[in-house]
């Protein structure tokens, strides 16, 4: 389920980058594709549960990004961005050379 969660997180980052016209959208798309490939190669027969986890994680990460970008509370926004970054770094650490 870890790779499903990471796929969801990078999907959220990619879409958020498109929303806010962030130049990193292509990089997030590339990282997302790496996790999609790993997920597809490793997926067992429980596709529904894996997809559900991926979608839930994507929505949770998108909520963090919305808070980070649009919250009027600077402390809350900073905390959300740091947490989102920590999650991404955890995912990147799973990939050789990441």
Residue 97 forms part of a structural domain: no
Residue 61 forms part of a structural domain: yes
Residue 6 forms part of a structural domain: yes
Give the integer Cα–Cα distance in Å for 65 and 84. 7
The pTM score is: 0.90
Which tokens belong to 39?
Answer: 């997920």
Tens-digit pLDDT profile for residues 31-81: 999 999 999 888 776 788 889 999 999 999 999 999 999 999 999 999 999
- Nearest Cα residue to 7 out of 38, 36, 47: 36
State the residue range of the domain holding 56: 2-92
Residue 98 forms part of a structural domain: no
Judge whether 90 and 3 are in contact, CB under 8 Å: no
When divided into structural domains, the chain yields a total of 1
Give the integer Cα–Cα distance in Å for 71 and 68. 6
């Amino acid at each position: 389920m870890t790779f499903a969660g990471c796929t969801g997180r990078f999907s959220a980052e990619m879409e958020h980058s498109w929303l806010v016209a962030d130049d990193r959208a292509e990089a997030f798309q590339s990282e997302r594709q790496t996790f999609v490939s790993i997920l597809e190669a490793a997926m067992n027969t429980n596709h529904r549960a894996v997809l559900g986890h991926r979608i839930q994680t994507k929505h949770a990460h998108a909520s963090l990004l919305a808070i980070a970008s649009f919250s009027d509370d600077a402390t809350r926004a900073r905390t959300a961005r740091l947490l989102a970054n920590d999650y991404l770094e955890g995912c990147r650490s799973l990939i050789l050379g990441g």
